[in-house]
Each structure stands twice: as structure tokens, then as C-alpha cells.
């Protein structure tokens, strides 16, 4: 890095007495430094390394440490010489050849140069080092951005300016200026979130290595029809039952029991997790999951014979809802077709929203059913039939109770010990 220094020309001319003093001091450097030499002896060379002497400042040199070794550094051009150049004649040669106009400068001139250089170093170090509190604040803000699923640019464009405005208004500009040292750029927030994620994963893997755990596996599909395998773990951490997501891996091929087992087994091997620590497995009732031989249950029991398999209670509710009486099941299928008909066309959804608002309904939108996609027009006369509406109300009460149960199972620390 180049530096441009302005040399004070007012002290360019010195008196003859000052020159004599300077020459006398330099002569002292030659005699005293030659007499006082110390330092470690090299294995390959028998010469000793000289140590820095304060009188070298007459020649415009200070010292710097490189690899635990003292080296002379010019206070004018900041050039660092080799360690064997720690000799007055070599330092004087550098001054005379590189800075001939400064040969007769007094010691105070080079002392000012040295002081200015050291203060510049300290200022540069302060500017490039993020304070610990600002670093911690950056991580906390990035954590909140990740939890709220907001764009990473919101930290620099909204959160930090808003925080500066709040602090400036409430406490003054001096405290508000300190907030500007918090790094919240787009790249910084992305790195913070990645670091937090990696740290949480490492903590989770470390806990699973020392504790038994239960594994819950399910398949999910996103809006692009890409299938994913979700895995959750439940374990005891300091007398507290915790549930954490273990991974979310895409299903690139078939969703057979063998493919699902290979994904989980490879993940266990990659993170040094043992199947013997897994004491329970919870899945749905699909053949690929619950099969005793070629399903995930059978393949897992082959490597962990003592594992216990359980059928997901929410999935059992879905199966039970299908096994209704013929009359209730017919009503359910009619409602499903009606809902999907409304959701299949944007115009029907808008008209349904207007109808609900006119009726004062609490909800104005519908969700697709998880399976049916039938868009055939149902008979509108059924919704005017008293018997149909009575059975529909009875069916609504049943599913409302099931929804209450499902929500109670999804909250934190919902554990049933038997």
C-alpha cells in the first residue's frame, strides 16, 4: 500500500551545532550498538542477530515484529528491511540513498514521523475491527430476519435505519452513531444465517451422539410438485423433551422404502450418528413406510432390532375419517367437489369471497382437499335440503373436534408419557 507523506520543509536547515550533535549521536550508535548485540543464534549461521537500539531513530528507523523477529522499518517510506540489516551502516546507507534530503534532520523529526505512523496503524485497526457488541447485534438481527423469513436486504435498508432513527430521537445522535457500526449488509446477513444454521446443526448432532432419540419421517410436496423427505427427532436434553427438525432432503427417484432408508442411512453416516441410539420410529401407514419387510420399518429394524414403530396419530385420524358411514361419506365427497370447484377457477373464488362477506362469515377462502381434484359441478339443490344440511353440520362438528386435537398436538412441549 502506497503512502504519500508531506515533509516539513521549515526544518530543512539546521545549525552547525545541531549537525555536530547529530553526528556525535550517530557515532554513539556505531559504538554502542556494536558493543551491545544479543539474540538467538541461528543453527545455520554463527552470526548473532542485532537488537533494535533507540539511537537508530537518528537514522529514521523504528522496529517491527515479523514472525517473532525484530526488523528495522523506515518511518519515512515504511520499508521493512531484513533482520541482518539491523546495523548502523546499512541503515545510514538507506537514509542517504532513499532520503538524501533528510540526512541532517534531528531526532525529533523522525520521532514525529514514527508517532504519526503508529497512530495511523491504531486508527486503521480500529476501523477494520468490528466491536464485539456490534458483532453480537449483527447475529441477533440476522437470526430474527431468518425467523421472520424476510429478505436479507431488510437489515440494511429498513432495520438499521429505523434503529438509528429511534435511538437518535430517544437518546441523541451520539448513541445513534454507534449503531452504524453494526454490519447488516445483504452478504453479511447471509453469512450470519449460514453460521447460525451450521452452529445449530453441530449442537444438535453432538447431542444426538450422546442421547437416545426418536425419529419421525414423512413425505411432503411443495408447490412445484417436488417431493421431499422430512425427518424430525425427539430426545431428552437436560431433563426436557425437545423436538427438532433433523433434515429435509429431496426425493430424486422413487419413494420406495429402500430409497427412503438410503437417504436416512447416508445422513446418519455423514454425521457419525448411530442407529443404535434410535429407539423409536414414527411414520404413516403407507406400504413404503410401514412395510415389515421391504418398507422403511423393516429395513430400519434390520440395523436396529430394538426399535419400536408407531403409526402417526394424525394419519390415523385421516384414515378414520375415510371410514365413515355411507351417508356421511357421500356428504363429505360432495363438499370436497364443491370446494375444489370454487378453488379451481379464480372467478369462482372471488364470487365466493363476496358471498361470504355479505353473509358476515368469519372465513372468506377455501383450501384444496389433499386428494380430490374433481371439478364437476355438484348439485346445488343439495345445499337446500334440510337432511343434507343436518348431516353436514354433524360432520362439521366431528372435524372441528379433530382439528382441535391436531392443533393441541402441534404446540411446543406437547408430550404424552405412558
- Determine the distance from the C-alpha atom of residue 368 to the mean position of all C-alpha atoms in its chain, rounded to a whole number: 35
Q: How many CA atoms lie within 13 A of 160 on its CB side?
A: 21
DSSP H helices in 212-303: 257-270, 287-290, 296-303
Provide the pLDDT for residue 233.
93
pLDDT score at 24? 37
Joined grid coordinates for residue 95: 537514509
Contact 217, 229 (CB under 8 A): yes
Q: What is the C-alpha to C-alpha distance for residues 262 and 281, in angstroms, rounded to an integer?
A: 15
Which residue, among 196, 237, 197, 195, has the nearest Cα to 213 in the 3D structure?
237
Three-state DSSP state, 41: strand
pTM (two decimals): 0.54
- Give, to the nearest 10 degrees, the angle between helix 326-344 and helix 346-359: 110
Give the C-alpha separation, 299 to 308, whole Å.
13
Kindly report, residue by residue over 124-150, the tens digit of the pLDDT. Answer: 454 456 678 888 999 999 999 999 999
Q: How much is the pLDDT for 116? A: 77
Distance linking the first and last C-alpha atoms of the chain: 71
Per-residue burial over 237-271, b if 16 or more Cβ lie within 10 Å, else e, is eeeeebebebbeeebeeeebbeebbebbeeebeeb
SS3 helix, strand, coil % of the chain, rounded to 5?
A: 55, 15, 30
DSSP 3-state of 235: strand
Per-residue pLDDT of the chain (418 residues), as tens digits, is: 333 333 333 333 333 333 333 343 333 434 444 443 444 444 444 456 677 888 888 888 888 877 677 888 888 888 888 877 788 888 888 888 888 888 888 888 888 888 877 776 655 454 456 678 888 999 999 999 999 999 999 999 999 999 999 999 999 988 888 888 899 999 899 999 999 998 998 899 988 988 899 999 988 888 788 889 999 999 988 888 888 999 999 988 888 889 999 999 999 998 889 999 999 999 988 888 888 888 899 999 999 998 999 888 878 877 777 777 888 888 888 888 888 888 777 887 888 888 888 888 777 776 655 444 444 565 677 778 888 888 888 888 888 888 888 777 776 666 665 5
Please, how many CA atoms are within 13 Å of residue 71, restricted to the half-sphere of its CB?
Answer: 14
Residue 324, classified by CB atoms within 10 Å of its CB into exposed (0-12), middle (13-18) or buried (19+), is middle
CA distance 196 to 194: 5
**Residue-level pLDDT at 122:** 56
**pLDDT for the residue numbered 166:** 94
Amino acid at each position: 500500500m502506497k503512502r504519500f507523506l508531506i515533509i516539513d520543509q521549515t526544518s530543512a536547515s539546521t545549525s552547525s551545532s545541531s549537525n555536530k550533535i547529530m553526528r556525535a549521536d550517530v557515532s554513539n550508535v556505531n559504538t554502542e550498538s556494536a558493543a551491545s548485540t544479543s539474540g538467538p543464534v541461528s543453527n545455520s549461521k554463527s552470526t548473532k542477530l542485532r537488537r533494535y537500539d533507540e539511537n537508530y531513530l537518528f537514522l529514521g528507523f523504528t522496529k517491527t515484529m515479523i514472525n517473532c523477529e525484530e526488523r528495522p522499518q523506515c518511518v519515512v517510506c515504511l520499508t521493512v528491511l531484513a533482520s541482518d540489516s539491523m546495523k548502523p551502516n546499512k541503515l545510514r546507507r538507506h537514509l542517504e540513498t532513499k532520503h538524501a534530503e533528510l540526512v541532517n534532520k534531528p531526532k525529533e523529526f523522525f520521532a514525529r514521523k514514527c508517532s504519526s505512523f503508529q497512530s495511523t496503524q491504531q486508527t486503521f485497526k480500529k476501523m477494520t475491527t468490528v466491536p464485539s457488541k456490534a458483532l453480537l447485534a449483527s447475529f441477533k438481527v440476522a437470526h430474527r430476519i431468518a425467523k421472520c423469513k424476510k429478505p436479507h436486504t431488510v437489515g440494511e435498508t429498513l432495520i438499521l435505519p429505523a434503529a438509528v432513527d429511534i435511538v437518535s430521537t430517544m437518546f441523541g445522535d451520539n448513541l445513534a452513531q454507534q449503531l452504524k457500526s453494526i454490519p447488516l449488509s445483504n452478504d453479511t446477513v447471509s453469512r450470519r444465517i449460514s453460521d447460525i444454521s451450521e452452529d445449530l446443526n453441530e449442537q444438535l448432532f453432538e447431542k444426538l451422539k450422546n442421547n437416545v432419540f426418536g425419529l419421525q419421517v414423512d413425505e411432503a410436496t411443495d408447490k412445484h410438485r417436488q417431493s421431499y423427505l422430512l425427518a424430525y427427532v425427539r430426545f431428552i436434553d437436560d431433563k426436557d423433551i425437545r423436538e427438532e427438525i433433523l433434515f429435509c432432503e429431496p426425493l430424486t427417484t422413487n419413494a420406495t422404502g429402500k430409497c427412503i432408508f438410503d437417504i436416512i442411512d447416508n445422513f446418519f453416516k455423514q454425521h457419525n450418528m448411530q442407529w443404535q441410539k434410535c429407539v423409536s420410529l414414527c411414520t404413516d401407514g403407507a406400504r413404503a413406510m410401514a412395510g415389515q419387510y421391504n418398507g422403511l420399518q423393516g429395513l430400519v429394524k434390520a440395523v436396529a432390532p430394538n426399535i419400536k414403530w408407531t403409526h402417526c396419530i394424525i394419519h390415523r385420524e385421516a384414515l378414520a375419517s375415510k371410514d365413515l358411514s355411507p351417508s356421511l361419506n357421500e356428504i363429505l365427497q360432495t363438499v370436497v367437489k364443491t370446494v375444489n370447484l370454487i378453488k379451481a377457477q379464480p372467478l369462482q373464488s372471488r364470487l365466493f369471497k363476496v358471498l361470504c362477506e355479505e353473509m358476515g362469515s368469519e372465513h372468506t377462502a377455501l383450501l384444496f382437499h389433499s386428494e380430490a381434484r374433481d371439478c364437476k359441478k355438484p348439485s346445488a339443490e343439495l345445499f337446500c335440503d334440510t337432511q343434507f344440511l343436518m348431516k353436514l353440520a354433524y360432520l362439521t362438528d366431528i372435524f372441528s373436534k379433530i382439528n382441535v386435537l391436531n392443533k393441541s398436538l402441534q404446540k411446543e412441549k406437547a408430550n404424552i408419557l405412558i
